[in-house]
Amino acid sequence: MPPRKSRGSGGGDPALFEGEPYNVDMMSKSRLVPWLGFGATLVAVAYLWHGGPSRMPADKKLAQADEVAATDLDPTRLIVDFRDDVSAETLANNGFTEIPISDYSAKDRLYRIEFPNAAEAAAALARLSRDPSVEFVDYESYASISPDEQTQEATAAGPGGGSMEAECQAAADPGGSFPNDACYKYQWHMRQLGMPDAWKRGNGKGVVVAVIDTGVSKVADLGETKFVDGFNFIGNNANAADDHGHGTHVAGTIAQSTNNKLGVAGIAYGASIMPLKVLSARGSGSVAGIAQAIRWAADHGANVINMSLGGPMKMGSMANAVKYARDKGVVIIAAAGNDGRGRVGYPAAYPGVVAVAATQFDESTTFYSNWGKEIDVAAPGGNTRVDQNGDGKPDGVLQHTIVPGNTSQTDYLWFMGTSMASPHTAGVAALIMGSGIRKPDAFLNAASATAAQTIGQVIIAASKDDTLPILTGVRMEIEDDLITLLATDRYRLAMREVPWKPATPGISTSALVKAKTLNEVAKTLGSSGDINIALADDDSRLIGFESGGRTTTSLLVDGDYPKIRSLFPDSTPIHATVQTQELVEAVRRVSLVAERNTPVRLAFTQGQLHLDAGTGEDAQASEELEAQLSGEDITVAFNPHYLIEGLSVIETKFVRFSFTTAPKPAMITAQNDVDGEDQDDYRYLVMPVRLPN
């Protein structure tokens, strides 16, 4: 591996600083879109997480007889979710004829029971709700793609929409830009998520996304996308090809083949698609089949489930399936619905499901999107009725799919709907999970991560010594669409780069903000979504932060901040990679045994890291961890408190140490894979403790 190159301008001792002029230029109010892992690439209009442990409905009989007339339920059919351990003998002797939903019913014990009339079905529902072998019983219900959405999709390739096949299959950009997909220029919705910069961090490799929809057909622009085995719950077979067009479009947003000199791009193009067909060619299907697909996906290795579909009624069997998948570590994402009203449909409204509303090019909520307290996040869903970006094309979500109503043909089509917003979220989930975050609640935390985590990564390095007021601040440097936060206490230095959306393009300014102020902002505003930042345009030296209707203002710190960027080395010939959490725990254990503030030594050799603390009569402790080393063996010692603080704000599975020589500062960065590249948007520079001899 070649020596690391950094954007710094020279080496240095972090205890020696030079002065730097400090100026505050006029900046109008702008919106900070935090960049924290991949999760905050979502265009948020609401981060109202109802997460936490998945909850089960208390009542097995969710659908009462008097509800049937007002909902899309079949009053003569029941869906019965028996306990998984119920025996075949019990089923045979209960007085009912159970019809399997699919072959998978042999595992999940979900069956349909049909009756000649509604009265007999109602009596059976009452009886089965008291049966100890039954977990849930509901009237059969149906879910579908929104009728309005289907109407729009059916006309997307018509005279008004126009075919994009020829243009999108044309030769790629001769300039060699990334990605080189011919029609990526029309995917405004990708750029709103921070693409292509997000792809520098990963592409979802190793993550399996189940698309529970109309099926997925491997059209030309999915040619390089990986597929895993799926299932057809409509036909009860393994052929999960699309006969509608909706599911293929959804899958393209998640993992369209990217940088393949063809068509358009997908968010997590390194992820694998698991096609699960639960909707017919007409765009509708039984909720029972969807419930089975959720469990099937969890049992067959899915990490993320996307459901761009919905219905008005909750069913115990689907709630049960959601809990089952969540308990197996699956992130479940669903569209909120396209009725333009304050009621979120199911499955999006179930606890444990990430409910997604839709935004358009100007990042406002679309006219069709549902809203409500269950909404977790909003993402681009598009609006084909407008052309706000002025590119001469409708502002829909563009992907390659089969043509609705003419499925023998393919085209690049603009669709709109919360059905399109949901796979944007699923794609981001795949990126997050590809970075090493695999638990559903951890994904929710990462996807809703706000300025709090960014601020927390930096303020740990700010000085707490009030006799050095300059160093108790965090320097905020703003250059166009990039904010850089820097802090140091002379013994360590933290730097975090954050893309944002300035109200004034090309802005260049800086401010020195009290670390205490930023800490309060993180605590009080950091979980409210986007944060607006405003600097006064007069001599008042004020900065303001606003989010969710709450504001915080503070005086800026006056003075010249040291030129600390130059402390980052130009190159690092030695670097070592270690599992982050294992290292944090090992440093804590070793430092606890030694006397307070005893340095912890890290000796890196090929394949191994040896940690120890304490010498002579002091208490001693040592541990060994696996490590990958590039360059010469090196032994360094650190203040354990500084080391633990720096490691604890890194959320990736691995961490990289980059060294010049043992006496010089070491740089710590995040790394997703043991053999991958590190992420340099957060850098933590820490001064070693000098060792004897």
Percent of the chain with pLDDT over 90: 55
For residue 363, pLDDT over 70 is answered with: yes
Tell me if domain 18-36+451-555 and domain 65-142 are identical in fold.
no
Q: Is pLDDT of 405 > 60?
A: yes
Per-residue pLDDT, averaged over 279-288, amounts to: 93
The answer to whether residue 217 scores a pLDDT higher than 90 is yes
pLDDT at 201: 76
Name the band, by pLDDT with cuts 50, 70 and 90, for residue 331: very high
pLDDT for 570 equals 86
pLDDT band of residue 433 (cuts 50, 70, 90) is: confident
Closest alpha carbon to 268 in 337, 348, 333 = 333
Q: What is the pLDDT of residue 544?
A: 84
Give the model's confidence band at 498: pLDDT under 50 very low, under 70 low, under 90 confident, else very high. Answer: confident
Q: Residue 172 — pLDDT band, cuts 50, 70, 90?
A: low
Task: State yes or no: pLDDT of 73 exceeds 60.
Answer: yes
Is 246 designated active site? Answer: yes
Rounded average pLDDT over 518-522: 82
Find the Cα–Cα–Cα–Cα dihedral 115, 120, 124, 125, rounded to 10°.
90
Give me the mean pLDDT over the 295-312 stretch: 95
pLDDT of 549 reads 67
Which uninterrupted H or E stretch holds 408? strand 406-415
Residue 636 scores a pLDDT above 50:
yes
Bigger pLDDT: 172 or 56?
172
| CATH of 573-686 among 3.10.150.10, 3.40.50.12780, 3.40.640.10, 3.90.1300.10 | 3.10.150.10
d(CA 582, CA 587): 9
**419 catalytic, yes or no?**
yes
Please give the helix or strand (H or E) that residue 564 lies within, else none.
Answer: none
Which whole number is the average pLDDT over 202-231? 96
Domain ranges of the chain: 18-36+451-555, 46-54+144-447, 65-142, 573-686
The predicted-structure confidence for 75-134, as pLDDT tens digits, reads as follows 999 999 999 999 999 999 999 999 999 999 999 999 999 999 999 999 999 999 999 999
> Which amino acid, residue 128?
L
Average the pLDDT over each of 100-114, 209-223, 252-266, 373-387 and give the range with the smallest value. 373-387
pLDDT of residue 54: 29
Amino acid identity at 530? D
Q: Is the pLDDT score of 12 beyond 70?
A: no
Active-site hit among 105, 419, 630, 658: 419
- pLDDT per residue over 222-257, tens digit each? 999 999 999 999 999 999 999 999 999 999 999 999
pLDDT at 71: 44
* pLDDT higher at 217 or 541: 217
First vs last C-alpha separation in the chain = 30
d(CA 316, CA 387): 42
Angle at 370 between CA 369 and CA 374, to 5 degrees: 130
pLDDT of the residue at 548: 63
| List of residues 6+ apart from 66 with CB closer than 8 A | none
Average pLDDT estimate for 179-196 = 91
Average pLDDT over residues 540-546: 79
Which positions ≥6 away from 166 have C-beta within 8 Å? none
Over 70: is that where the pLDDT of 16 sits?
no
Q: Looking at residues 455-482, what average pLDDT do you find?
A: 90
Distance of CA 646 to the CA centre of its chain: 23
Would you say residue 35 has pLDDT above 70? no
Question: What is the architecture, at CATH level 2, of domain 18-36+451-555?
Answer: Roll (3.10)
DSSP H/E element including 456: helix 451-459
| CATH number of the domain located at residue range(s) 46-54+144-447 in this protein | 3.40.50.200
Q: Which of the residues 74, 108, 181, 213 is marked catalytic?
A: 213
Of 189, 244, 246, 400, catalytic: 246
Average pLDDT, the chain: 83
Band of pLDDT at residue 364, cut at 50, 70 and 90: confident
pLDDT at 219: 96
pLDDT exceeds cutoff 90 at 67 = no
Say whether pLDDT at 445 is over 80.
no
**Residue range 666-677, pLDDT digits in tens:** 999 998 888 888
Nearest CA-CA partner of 113 in 284, 347, 346, 317? 317
Would you place residue 3 in the very low, low, confident or very high pLDDT band (cuts 50, 70, 90)? Answer: very low
Contacts for 282 with CB less than 8 Å, ≥ 6 apart: 244
* Topology at the third CATH level for domain 65-142: Alpha-Beta Plaits (3.30.70)
More confident residue, 249 or 171: 249
Flag whether pLDDT at 693 surpasses 70: no
Indicate the pLDDT class of residue 528, thresholds 50, 70 and 90.
low
Distance CA 541, CA 690 (A): 41
**Catalytic site includes residue 395:** no
